[in-house]
Chain A
Amino acid sequence: MRIALFITCIGDAVMPEVGKATVAVLERLGHEVVFPEDQTCCGQMHLNSGYPQEAERLADRFVRVFDGFDTIVSPSSSCVGTVRELRPELHGRLFELSELLVGRLGVTDVGASFPHRVTYHPTCHSLRVTRVGDAPLRLLDAVAGLERIELDRAFECCGFGGTFAVKNADTSTAMVDDKVAAIVASGAEVCTAIDGSCLMQIGGRLARENAPVRTMHLAEILAQTAAA
């Protein structure tokens, strides 16, 4: 299948490894990945910060850039949710990665191997906006050697919330502190999720606290193979 990749602004500038992993997984499954180079941002930050006109322009831009592609994938559930809310006509064309793999392509075993203890943080937008269901868990459970550990109070927000993390930094930190405590208590070596921005929040606090847990995007785990 020919799949257009929406990398997202943060994915492009700050965490390109997530995009590379997404490409690796899809190509390993025999799909053709194309990258419309004119793409920039979904408009979520503007929409959620009180700048709807700017967000609308970016949503228009998204539709234009991805015109002609039947299947679009992004490794960010909150960006997918935002674009689908702003442009409902993209339902059925635009997918978050785990949605695409499990829901559309019917794959759970992507041939990955990752012999580590992993806990999954279900991000708020993946639960309540994009509604990916258990797709990420099914993918993780099919990874060779991976031991998945349940996260206490998993449903609770990590405190990122876009500009909330800066505007209400103290509250945001109080929230991530509880999240980080639950992650550390789980005994996992890796905390994974399907939103890079939430992982930035969790990972940033884990690193500051010198906690023995690292964050990895789901795509990065799925890209790991026994040979690598």
Chain B
Amino acid sequence: MSAPARPFPRAAREALADPQLRANLRVATDTIRLKRDRVVAELPDWEKLRDAGRAIKRDVLAHLDEYLVQFEAAVTDAGGHVHWAPDAAAANRVVLDVARAHGVHEIVKVKSLTTDEIGLNNALAAGGVLALETDLAELILQLDGDWSSHILVPAIHRNRTEIREIFRRTIARSDLTDDPADLAEAARLFLRERFLHARMGVSGANFGVAQTGSVCVVESEGNGRMCTTLPPVLVTILGIEKLVPTFADLEVFLQLLPRSATGERMNPYTSLWTGTTTGDGPSEFHVVLLDGGRTRVLADEVGRQALHCIRCSACLNVCPVYSRTGGHAYGSVYPGPIGAILTPQLQGIEKASTLPFASSLCGACYEVCPVKIDIPAVLVHLRAKAVQAGGDTPERSGMRAVAWAFGKRWRFGLAQRLARFAQRPFRREGAIRHAPPPLSAWTRTRDLPPLADESFSDWWRGRP
């Protein structure tokens, strides 16, 4: 579940006012960032891997229609069932129908952004089915009614004392300590019981292999594997862009993903399964292929590279904006730089029009992206769309006027003379400390240098 969508500047202001949150985020993002840098530096062919990752994703997107049909055939051949879901409602309905067909009232869930994106838990709850999160961080948030704030570390904004309180209130005894091992044990005791009784599991997926129909889930805890192997029924929701052509292509991504994500050479659990196998794992397996706006993103030549994303969250950890505001400010299942380009495209620019502007375009995200998504370029592209969708605004008129002034040298000169006159009442000892809107947003915290009494051009003209 994501925090409610609000204009980013306002949501960010509230987040920034919390010094504890800022300190937590700084420590957490620094730790992961430095770990990532270390393990990436170990690979001499890292740049080639990135190129390969991007090339494979481009190929997948260019031939998605063929790969999807190939995947469907392979899954079906292996004993699985494939469902095509054009939107969230359709995907949720499939899961609910499967649950009802088996009379299931509680399902266990693998940590999955895609199921958050479609609001699966709420949809199931409305249908009388409880979805239990089994990823430790997701469980913490679910028990507290809180929202995820990081793609990979959903509870990055909570510390262990807070977690102990949540557990004491909900699943653990009152003598629980805030020792991480004790906290994990409390969650383990609670979850093991549920795993053993669970009759249906739901997962997202990191990759689907078109050639074999295999599904791949990458995780750290092993709770995901409990969900995908113990219950007799398993439903996997797969965003259609998550396909790779062949099994061998996983070789590239299973190097790129863990190093970019947790800064590990290999993640602890990599689960791969193909359809159903008698006597091993679930006896009934469904895959829901989710569009959910993806084909619309695919139609945008600049924006479509957002669909390369493998959800590693490296861009979050290096982002100077995310590392200060945290994830809730984005009001989106996908926060940070990738969220700022994915959410407005998946939901429509008018629903998230402030997100493309939630970046200083510093470019740190592009530098670390394992599949080379040019996030700054997509941000700039989406800003133009947001401006267009916004219609006639004072900003638009102002920007046009400035462009008009820049169109001729004499107009720029005249504009400078006017501005020099207009700034007089605001100028104090060579600085402007209180400017009128919109520049007041600047001068609230920073001095603004006034226009010089003599411009460079005027000085040049007067040179001997």
Residues of A within 8 A of B (CB): 7, 9, 11-17, 19-20, 35, 37-41, 43, 45-52, 54, 57-58, 61, 124-125, 127-129, 155-157, 159-176, 200-201, 203-205, 207-208
The chain B residue sitting closest to A169, CB to CB, is B441
> Does B299 count as interface, using CB distance less than 8 angstroms?
no
Q: Are B442 and A164 in contact (CB under 8 A)?
A: no
Q: How far is the CA of A175 from the CA of B22 in the complex (A)?
A: 11
Q: What chain A residues lie within 8 Å of B380 (beta carbons)?
A: 47-48, 50, 52
Residue in B361, B402, B405, B446 whose Cβ sees the most chain A Cβ within 10 Å = B446
Q: Are A37 and B457 in contact (CB under 8 A)?
A: yes
Q: Are A50 and B361 in contact (CB under 8 A)?
A: no
28 A-B residue pairings within 8 Å (CB atoms)? A12-B416, A12-B455, A14-B452, A16-B454, A20-B456, A20-B459, A40-B408, A40-B412, A48-B380, A49-B387, A50-B386, A51-B387, A61-B406, A125-B363, A128-B367, A162-B360, A164-B357, A164-B361, A166-B438, A170-B12, A171-B16, A171-B321, A171-B358, A173-B446, A174-B324, A175-B360, A176-B445, A204-B446
The 8 A-B residue pairs with the shortest CB-CB distance in the complex, in nearest-first order: A161-B360, A204-B446, A50-B383, A50-B387, A157-B362, A54-B403, A128-B363, A16-B456
Q: Are B357 and A156 in contact (CB under 8 A)?
A: no
Q: Are B403 and A39 in contact (CB under 8 A)?
A: no
Q: What chain A residues lie within 8 Å of B384 (beta carbons)?
A: 50-52
**Chain B nearest CB: distance from A190 CB in Å?**
16
Residues of B within 8 A of A (CB): 8-9, 12-13, 16, 22, 320-321, 324-325, 356-364, 366-367, 380, 383-388, 399-400, 402-403, 405-409, 412, 416, 419, 431, 433, 438-439, 441-442, 444-452, 454-457, 459-461
Q: How far is the CA of A156 from the CA of B452 in the complex (A)?
A: 30
Q: What chain A residues lie within 8 Å of B445 (beta carbons)?
A: 169, 173, 176, 205, 208
The chain A residue sitting closest to B445, CB to CB, is A173
List 19 extra interface pairs beyond A12-B416, A161-B359, CB under 8 A: A7-B456, A9-B406, A12-B457, A49-B383, A50-B383, A50-B384, A51-B384, A58-B403, A124-B362, A128-B367, A160-B360, A161-B360, A168-B9, A168-B321, A169-B441, A174-B324, A174-B325, A205-B446, A207-B446
**Chain B nearest CB: distance from A163 CB in Å?**
8
Q: What chain B residues lie within 8 Å of A41 (beta carbons)?
A: 406, 412
Q: Are B16 and A157 in contact (CB under 8 A)?
A: no
**Chain B nearest CB: distance from A22 CB in Å?**
9
Q: Are A128 and B362 in contact (CB under 8 A)?
A: yes
Q: What chain B residues lie within 8 Å of A161 (beta carbons)?
A: 359-362
The chain A residue sitting closest to B30, CB to CB, is A153
Residue of A13, A47, A129, A167 near B419 (CB, 8 A) is A13
Q: What chain B residues lie within 8 Å of A58 (beta carbons)?
A: 403, 406-407
Residue in B360, B363, B386, B409 whose Cβ sees the most chain A Cβ within 10 Å = B360
Residue of A15, A168, A172, A208 near B8 (CB, 8 A) is A168
Q: Are B9 and A170 in contact (CB under 8 A)?
A: yes
Q: How far is the CA of A52 from the CA of B387 in the complex (A)?
A: 10
**Chain B nearest CB: distance from A75 CB in Å?**
11
Q: Are A54 and B383 in contact (CB under 8 A)?
A: no
Q: Are B455 and A13 in contact (CB under 8 A)?
A: yes
**Chain B nearest CB: distance from A30 CB in Å?**
18
Q: What chain B residues lie within 8 Å of A128 (beta carbons)?
A: 362-364, 366-367
Q: How far is the CA of A207 from the CA of B456 in the complex (A)?
A: 24
Q: Are B360 and A7 in contact (CB under 8 A)?
A: no
**Chain A nearest CB: distance from B461 CB in Å?**
7
Residue of B321, B367, B416, B456 near A19 (CB, 8 A) is B456
Q: What chain A residues lie within 8 Å of B461 (beta carbons)?
A: 37
Q: How far is the CA of A7 from the CA of B460 in the complex (A)?
A: 11
Q: Are B357 and A167 in contact (CB under 8 A)?
A: yes
Q: Are B403 and A162 in contact (CB under 8 A)?
A: no
**Chain B nearest CB: distance from A60 CB in Å?**
11
Q: Are B364 and A157 in contact (CB under 8 A)?
A: yes
Residue of B367, B408, B447 near A204 (CB, 8 A) is B447
The chain B residue sitting closest to A207, CB to CB, is B447
Q: How far is the CA of A176 from the CA of B447 in the complex (A)?
A: 13
Q: Are A174 and B16 in contact (CB under 8 A)?
A: yes
Q: What chain A residues lie within 8 Å of B385 (beta carbons)?
A: 50
Q: Are A45 and B402 in contact (CB under 8 A)?
A: yes
Q: What chain A residues lie within 8 Å of B357 (beta carbons)?
A: 163-164, 167-168
Q: Are B12 and A159 in contact (CB under 8 A)?
A: no
Q: Are B403 and A48 in contact (CB under 8 A)?
A: no
**Chain A nearest CB: distance from B438 CB in Å?**
6
Q: Are B406 and A16 in contact (CB under 8 A)?
A: no
Residue of A38, A127, A129, A203 near B409 (CB, 8 A) is A38
**Chain B nearest CB: distance from A103 CB in Å?**
21
